A and B are shown apart, each in its own frame.
Chain A
Amino acid sequence: MSNPGISILEGKYMVTMDQYPQQSKEFTQVHQFYENLQEGRLTTTRCRDCGMEPFPPRILCPNCHQSNLEWVDWPTTGTVVEFTEEAMGIPLGFGEPPLIHALVELPGKKTLFTRIVNCREGELACGDQLKLAVFAVDPVPQEIGREVVQIKRVCYAFEPVR
């Protein structure tokens, strides 16, 4: 008799343990963020009542606590404030070391703590310009009615402007 626990480890794992978020409308009310991201846009929600632009996007304004929100585009280029190159203990799914992290200042918005891709070890310096990099990640098989549909997913990082 097969052992279902072990067979999961040998093949696939639970979707609820995936490192990337669920992106379908059935599983998140900010699915628009991911739809925008697929078009190369970095967006968040702006409160029409008080003007606050929290990141990540919300369905409730954390400042005035109303839900009168709209989607706005944020800059897709920014400047390296600080960075570090992680050599050990990198979680599965993030490739071979080093895993490069940077604080990226988006002008007029926030400083994001992001992953840097398409970048060689030793290449990055403080003050460098970076741009948004959008990439596909594994789709999620999701039951919709009796069908199992592959839900397309994306993620973002930043990469050097060359």
Chain B
Amino acid sequence: MERKVCIIAGGMSRWGAREGSQRDFFQEAAKACYEDIPGLNPKDIDGLLVASAMTERTSYQTHLAPLVAENVGVQPKNLCARVELLCGSGSSAIILAFAMIKAGQADVVMVVGGEKLNTPQKWETFYSQLASVDHDWDGPQGIGLPPPAFAMMAKLHMKKYGTRKEHLAAVTVKNRRNASRNPKAQFQTPVSLQEALEGRMVVPPLTLYDCCPITDGAAAVILAGKEIAKDLTDKPLVYIRGTAQASLSNMSANIPNLTTWDSLRIAAKQAYGKAGIGPQDVDVAMTHDCFTISEIIEMEDLGFCEKGEGGRFVFEGQNDLGGQVPTNTDGGLLGCGHPFGGTGIRQGLEVMKQLRGDAVQQVPDASIGLTHNLSGLIAAHTLVVYGKEAA
């Protein structure tokens, strides 16, 4: 019989332009995670998935999972591998751990993800991003770093739907305020709408405040089958109800539509279907706000508002605390930062806390939560639906 799968613990290192190596951050995240579940002996963890995108590039290290296992003091016997999907690596690892436990191939799986993205000289950090798009075809065009592509999406969205600079800035204001209440976040200070509007231009219409920063850090969660979970923790159980991952294209010339993200719509339909819910049932969401325009389009294509209404939806506070679907309550990528492999795990950690009822900025009575990771030039979308009840 298929087993119900729970997310039972989590923790993260401090995120930011950090002192330390990637293995340091994995150890810090693991320690925070172990402290969240005193009933678990880490030696009983039988599976480990490590999410990291840039380990070969910025740490010149392949074969990462056994190295992390050794460093965090676990000795997996059913699963030990690395998962890579750039910015979606963390959620990818969570859905694979979920499937392994559901199928009875592992019992207690630790999913840890993170990066050391900063390099001794900044140019190398930027240059390394040429590996993250289609290196042979998009890299030579100078769109290795994502801001130009998202700037283009913002311009088109503004033209087509009347989205305004104030709408973009409202995303930053919300997520930076949320981050200022999260001691692990990269940014600890809020910004005003005026500051956000007057930020230094990176690539029009996006300013520094519209872009998530470059971040070092890691996060970890533990997944287990329901019966084992009940023995390991007294905290309320949080279930994974449904997952999905979709991709229609990779290279820029093949993106079907820059302002409606078709692969996100497909993934959402799949995940909602498997979870037995609809967008109206989502109480709290962590969506991939790599840029302000991203969160706006995500509100539309996840079905939280009508197409083209995302800017106004955000500006009116509909995805803020107290609104229809509080989003990125821990600060999101714009506030916490974005160590690629760590992000999906940070999202899962915050949703787990929201559904357990112990989040810092608690959404009252949250019972359904969602995480969304996008990766590459909106090439892949990864969704996980969590619930206080199993599907």
Contact = CB atoms under 8 A, between A and B. Distances in A.
Interface stretch (A64-72, A91-99, A143-151): A91-99
Interface residues of B, number: 35
Given A56-B251, A111-B253, A88 B141 contact: no
Interface residues on A, range: 20 to 34
B166 interface: no
Contact of A84 (B130, B135, B203): B203
Interface string B119-136: 000010011011000111
A19 B136 CA distance: 8
Contacts of A111: 253
B258 to A, nearest CB: 8
A89 B201 CA distance: 11
Contacts of B53: none
A19 B145 CA distance: 12
Interface in B96-144: 123, 126-127, 129-130, 134-144
B148 A101 contact: yes
Interface in A21-76: 21, 28, 54-56
Interface of B: 123, 126-127, 129-130, 134-145, 147-149, 151-152, 155-156, 159, 200-204, 208, 251-254
27 contacts: A19-B130, A19-B144, A20-B139, A20-B140, A21-B139, A55-B251, A55-B254, A56-B136, A84-B155, A84-B203, A86-B148, A86-B151, A86-B202, A89-B202, A90-B126, A90-B142, A92-B127, A93-B127, A99-B148, A101-B141, A101-B151, A110-B253, A111-B253, A113-B149, A115-B141, A115-B142, A155-B140
Given A55-B254, A91-B123, A113-B252, 4 more contacts: A87-B201, A88-B201, A88-B202, A103-B152
